[in-house]
């Protein structure tokens, strides 16, 4: 057995250049397969962990997935607003324990600005019922205070006390900025791994103040300074959406029905957990397609290896003949091929995994900074070890093809090889 392994290794070393590229092709296909699997799992986790312990999210009537996307993930836009009267009337109901109003529409250098009140810091939960905590500073207490998420602070290098200018709309442009009313950073939230990290939070009054002299989306002729705006009545007239927690979760459906049938305004209430599942159901098809494609890439890699082995079969007939001459049985020849293939695939898999982990380590800070996608680097789970076993088994089966051909050839040739 030991001699056989030594022979395999020496024979492989002799053909190391072509083997190297075969190993690389398998490594890349394994890296792709494991990478797709990892990103799929990370995306699912980060999606699902974004919000917790919120029973309903209420917004203007439209699509439920759209409401979830813009209120929780800060993706997309609302179709309409919710008036303050409707908000107050609904949260006055007995069944409701707490509520968080939110107001969207502005941005700051690519990060969305969200108007809310201090209830947000008290009641918003994510992940496994985790509350928001402050890494530095305190919640806003004044009109022009802002609390920023961890990614905003890191990407734009903000400290407590820095002044920021909020832009109107989702893309910053100098003519669309509220530059006469800067906000002061009073707090930085601890990292959550959710879109909260990429948001600048201000008070609802702050949003009102910066828009008090904007008519129809542009500056009006009459400008108010920051001080003057502070003294105007800053009671918001409308908000974009609000989140609601109930005393008893069993009342969820009844309350959802009541809000949807609310006569004063066309509103819609969604159950975040249910809408998340709905969203994921539509995405799951794509993730499965991605997996199938990666599986095919791996099979292509294995077939490439098979091609390489078959094409060199002829050249190795003399090698087999020599081995037969020194006393190798025909099934030793078969075993030689199996061992060599398993060795190639094993090495390729290990190199592929190393490649994947080094890529992850390199791109982790970039992904967080650019896309807000948080990737945790963990050890391979049971499913990935099972994949390893399946790939090795496949390689054994693939190796049988050249192995059996060589077996037959070695029986026919004997010592006199007619090449």
Partner 1 sequence: MRFFPQLSRSRVFFLCIVIIFAVVSCGQSQPISIETVDIPPVPLEVPTSVPTLEPKLRDEAISNNNDQQAAAVSLAMPAITAEDAVSSIDESLSGDSEYLEIMWDSLIPSDYTADAIMAKYRDRLVAVEDGTDEALELYDAMQEEFNNAPVNESLSQFLIKIPGFIAPLEYTDDLITEFLLVPYFGACIHQPAPPANQTILVKTAAGQGIDVADSYDPIWVIGELKTEAQTTELATAGYNIADAMIEKYTP
Kindly tell me which of 126 and 242 has the beta carbon lying closer to partner 1.
Answer: 126
Kindly tell me which of 202 and 321 has the beta carbon lying closer to partner 1.
Answer: 321
Kindly tell me which of 147 and 298 has the beta carbon lying closer to partner 1.
Answer: 298
Cα–Cα nearest to 243, from 274, 280, 271? 271
Kindly tell me which of 104 and 196 has the beta carbon lying closer to partner 1.
Answer: 196
- Of 263, 281, 282, 416, the residue at the interface with partner 1 (CB under 8 A) is 281
Tell me the closest approach of the beta carbon of residue 397 to partner 1, in angstroms.
6
Tell me the closest approach of the beta carbon of residue 56 to partner 1, in angstroms.
10
Tokens at residue 55, please? 């029973």
Tell me the closest approach of the beta carbon of residue 49 to partner 1, in angstroms.
7
Near partner 1 in 30-59, by CB under 8 A: 41, 44-45, 48-49, 52-53, 55
Please tell me the distance from the alpha carbon of residue 103 to that of residue 133, in angstroms, as a whole number: 21
Tell me the closest approach of the beta carbon of residue 324 to partner 1, in angstroms.
15
Tokens at residue 185, please? 């950073």
- Is 212 strand, coil or helix? coil
Q: Which residues of 148-169 are buried (b: 16+ CB within 10 A; e: fewer)?
A: bbbbbbbbeebeeeeebbbbbe
* Start-to-end CA span in the chain (Å): 29
Tell me the closest approach of the beta carbon of residue 223 to partner 1, in angstroms.
47
Looking at 78-185, list the stretches that DSSP marks H as alpha helix, in order from N- to C-terminal side. 84-91, 119-123, 150-156
Number of residues written out for the chain: 419
Please tell me the distance from the alpha carbon of residue 37 to that of residue 43, in angstroms, as a whole number: 10
Tokens 């879109």 found at: 195
Please tell me the distance from the alpha carbon of residue 184 to that of residue 225, in angstroms, as a whole number: 16
Residues 260-279: x/- map of binding to partner 1 (CB under 8 A)?
----------xx-xx-xx--
DSSP states along 89-140: HHHTSTTEEEEEEEEEEEEETTEEEEEE-THHHHH-EETTTEEP-EEEE---
Kindly tell me which of 44 and 131 has the beta carbon lying closer to partner 1.
Answer: 44
Tell me the closest approach of the beta carbon of residue 247 to partner 1, in angstroms.
7
Residues 324-343: x/- map of binding to partner 1 (CB under 8 A)?
------xx------------
Kindly tell me which of 81 and 294 has the beta carbon lying closer to partner 1.
Answer: 294
Near partner 1 in 308-327, by CB under 8 A: none
Q: Are 267 and 49 in contact (CB under 8 A)?
A: no
Please tell me the distance from the alpha carbon of residue 246 to that of residue 90, in angstroms, as a whole number: 12
- Of 179, 257, 293, 354, the residue at the interface with partner 1 (CB under 8 A) is 257
Cα 93 to the chain's mean position, in Å?
37
The residue range among 79-87, 217-225, 350-358, 389-397 that interacts with partner 1, by the rule CB under 8 A, is: 389-397
Q: Is 293 in the site for partner 1 (CB under 8 A)?
A: no
Cα 244 to the chain's mean position, in Å?
26
Looking at 244-378, list the stretches that DSSP marks H as alpha helix, in order from N- to C-terminal side. 252-260, 272-311, 317-325, 330-371
User: How many residues of this chain bind partner 1 (CB under 8 A)?
Assistant: 48
Q: Is 384 in the site for partner 1 (CB under 8 A)?
A: no
C-alpha distance from residue 108 to each of 149, 156, 186, 190, 316 (Å):
12, 10, 16, 19, 67
Tell me the closest approach of the beta carbon of residue 160 to partner 1, in angstroms.
34
Kindly tell me which of 188 and 269 has the beta carbon lying closer to partner 1.
Answer: 269
Q: Is 411 in the site for partner 1 (CB under 8 A)?
A: yes
Beta bridge partners of 246: 96
The residue range among 13-21, 116-124, 161-169, 248-256 that interacts with partner 1, by the rule CB under 8 A, is: 248-256
C-alpha distance from residue 45 to each of 127, 250, 374 (Å):
9, 26, 10
Please tell me the distance from the alpha carbon of residue 172 to that of residue 200, in angstroms, as a whole number: 14
Tell me the closest approach of the beta carbon of residue 400 to partner 1, in angstroms.
6
Tell me the closest approach of the beta carbon of residue 298 to partner 1, in angstroms.
10
Cα 404 to the chain's mean position, in Å?
46
- Of 128, 218, 263, 282, the residue at the interface with partner 1 (CB under 8 A) is 128
Tell me the closest approach of the beta carbon of residue 273 to partner 1, in angstroms.
4
User: Which residues of the shown chain bind partner 1 in the complex (CB under 8 A)?
Assistant: 41, 44-45, 48-49, 52-53, 55, 128-129, 247-254, 256-257, 270-271, 273-274, 276-277, 280-281, 284, 295, 299, 330-331, 383, 386-387, 390, 393-394, 397-398, 400-401, 404-405, 407-408, 411
């Amino acid at each position: 057995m030991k001699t056989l392994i030594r022979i395999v290794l020496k024979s492989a070393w002799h053909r190391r250049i072509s083997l190297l590229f075969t190993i690389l092709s398998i490594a890349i296909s394994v890296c792709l397969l494991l990478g797709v699997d990892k990103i799929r799992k990370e995306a699912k986790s980060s999606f699902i962990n974004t919000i917790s312990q919120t029973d309903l999210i209420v917004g203007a009537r439209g699509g439920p997935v759209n409401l979830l996307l813009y209120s929780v993930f800060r993706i997309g836009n609302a179709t309409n607003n919710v008036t303050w009267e409707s908000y107050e009337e609904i949260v006055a109901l007995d069944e409701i324990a707490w509520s968080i109003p939110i107001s969207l529409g502005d941005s700051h250098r690519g990060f969305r600005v969200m108007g809310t009140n201090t209830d947000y810091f008290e009641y918003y939960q994510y992940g496994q019922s985790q509350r928001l905590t402050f890494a530095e500073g305190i919640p806003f207490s004044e009109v022009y205070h802002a609390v920023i998420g961890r990614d905003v602070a890191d990407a734009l290098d903000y400290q407590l006390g820095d002044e920021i200018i909020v832009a109107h709309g989702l893309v910053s442009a100098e003519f669309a900025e509220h530059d006469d009313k800067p906000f002061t950073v009073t707090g930085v939230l601890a990292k959550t791994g959710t879109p909260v990290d990429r948001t600048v939070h201000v008070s609802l009054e702050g949003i009102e103040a910066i828009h008090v002299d904007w008519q129809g989306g542009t500056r009006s002729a009459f400008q108010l300074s920051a001080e003057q705006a502070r003294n105007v009545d800053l009671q918001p007239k409308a908000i974009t959406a609000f989140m609601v927690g109930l005393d008893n979760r069993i009342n969820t459906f009844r309350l959802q029905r009541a809000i949807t049938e609310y006569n004063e305004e066309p509103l819609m209430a969604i159950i975040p957990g249910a809408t998340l599942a709905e969203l994921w159901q539509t995405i799951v098809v794509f993730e499965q397609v991605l997996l199938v494609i990666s599986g095919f890439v791996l099979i292509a890699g294995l077939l490439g290896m098979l091609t390489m082995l078959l094409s060199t079969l002829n050249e190795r007939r003399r090698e087999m003949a020599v081995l037969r001459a020194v006393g190798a049985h025909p099934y030793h020849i078969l075993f030689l091929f199996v061992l060599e293939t398993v060795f190639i695939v094993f090495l390729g898999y290990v190199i592929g995994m190393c490649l994947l982990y080094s890529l992850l380590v390199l791109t982790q800070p970039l992904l967080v900074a650019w896309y807000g996608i948080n990737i945790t680097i963990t050890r391979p789970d049971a499913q990935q070890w099972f994949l390893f076993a399946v790939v090795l088994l496949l390689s054994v089966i693939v190796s049988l093809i050249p192995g059996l051909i060589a077996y037959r050839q070695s029986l026919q040739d004997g010592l006199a090889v007619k090449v």
